[in-house]
Amino acid sequence: MHAPPGRRHPHVVPTALPLLDQPRCALGEGPVWDAGRGVAHVVDIERGTLWEVALGERPSAVEVLRTDAPLGAAVPAEGGGFLLAAGDRLRHVDARGATVDEVVLVPPGVDSRLNDGKVDPAGRFLVGSMANDGRRGQERLWRIELDGTVTVLDDDLTLSNGLGWSPDGRTLYSVDTEPATIWARPYDVATGATGPRRRLLSIDEGNPDGMCVDATGHLWVAIWGYGQVRRLAPDGTVVEVVDVDAPITTSCAFVGPEMRTLLITTAGQPDDSVEQTATAGCLFTVDLDVPGLPSRAWRGAGPGPLGRRGSPPGPDPAGTPVP
C-alpha cells in the first residue's frame, strides 16, 4: 500500500501524472527509450505484449507484438527488431515480430520464467529469472556476451529484477525483489569482468522492483506496493521520492529528447496487499531537473548460441573476476 502518513522521506518531487488511458497494463514493466526513433517501449508481462509509446503534445501507444508467454523484457536490437525475454527463453525477432533465433535459458524441468533485463554499456544483455512455484534462493542472473555465449553472474536469487550501471560503467546495480535487496558490484565494461557483490541497501517499506540511473549516479527505484519511485544516492541513502497514484509501481526509465522525463510503469492486476486506484496499470511521467543515462540497443545479433534454436546454452561458464 502507499506509505503511511508521517513516514514520507523529506524531499518529495512533483507527483507523477498519468500519460495515457491506454495501455492499462496488467503488469507493466521494462521501459526503454529508443533515441534513434524517439519512442519508448514498455512490456505488459502478463499479457505478453510490447507497446511503443510516443511522447510529446499528443502522446500515443500502439501494440507492436504479442508473445505466447509472459514477456519479462524487450530491448531494441542494433540490427533491427527486438530481443525478448519470453517465458523460459530469449527470442531475437525482426521488425515484424518473426523469430530469427532463440535459446532456452531456464533449465528443463525448472518452474521459472525470465524477468527483467537490460543492456549494458557495451551492448551485452543481462536478464534474470523468478520462480513460479515459490522456491527461494535458486534463481539466476545471466549475461549474453557479444559472441552469443552465456555467463551466469548470480545463481542464488529469489526474484531477479531491476538493473543499472553507474555513469562510468564501473558499478553494476541489481535488485532481488523478494529479500528487498539492492546489490552493487564492480564491473569492467570492456572485458565484462565482475567483482564481488555487496549489499547496497535492504528496504523495509515495500519491495524494490525495476530501476534506472541518472547522470549524477543516483538510482531511481520503483517500490512495489508503495506507489513510489525513490531516488537513492550511490551509498543507498534515500534523497527524493516521486509519488505515483498507483500502488504497484514496477519500473522506470529516463525518456525524451533531453532525457529529463521519468517514465514509470505500474500494474493494474488485483493484489490482496494493496487497494488499487483508478489509474492502476497506467503509464506515468514526471519531469525532473536531472537527466538520465540513455538506454542502449542489444549488439549481439550475430551468430552464436542464440542461433541454436530452442536448445539450452550448456554448462554455466564462470564469470571472470575484476582484478
Buried b (16+ CB within 10 A) or exposed e, 234-264: beeebebbbbbbbbbbbbbbbbbeebbbbbb
3-state secondary structure of 297: coil
* Residue 16 in grid coordinates: 507523477
CA–CA dist 234, 221 (Å, integer): 12
3-state secondary structure of 307: helix
Residues 6+ apart with CB under 8 A from 57: none
Find where cell 530452442 sits: 310
Which residues carry out catalysis? Answer: 209
Half-sphere exposure of 190 (CA within 13 A, CB side): 2
3-state secondary structure of 306: helix
Residues 6+ apart with CB under 8 A from 54: 38, 39, 60, 61
3-state secondary structure of 33: strand
Q: What angle do CA 218, 77, 94 make, to 5 degrees?
A: 145
Residues 6+ apart with CB under 8 A from 237: none
3-state secondary structure of 305: helix
- Whether 136 contacts 311, CB under 8 Å: no
Q: What angle do CA 234, 175, 207 make, to 5 degrees?
A: 100
- Whether 277 contacts 245, CB under 8 Å: yes
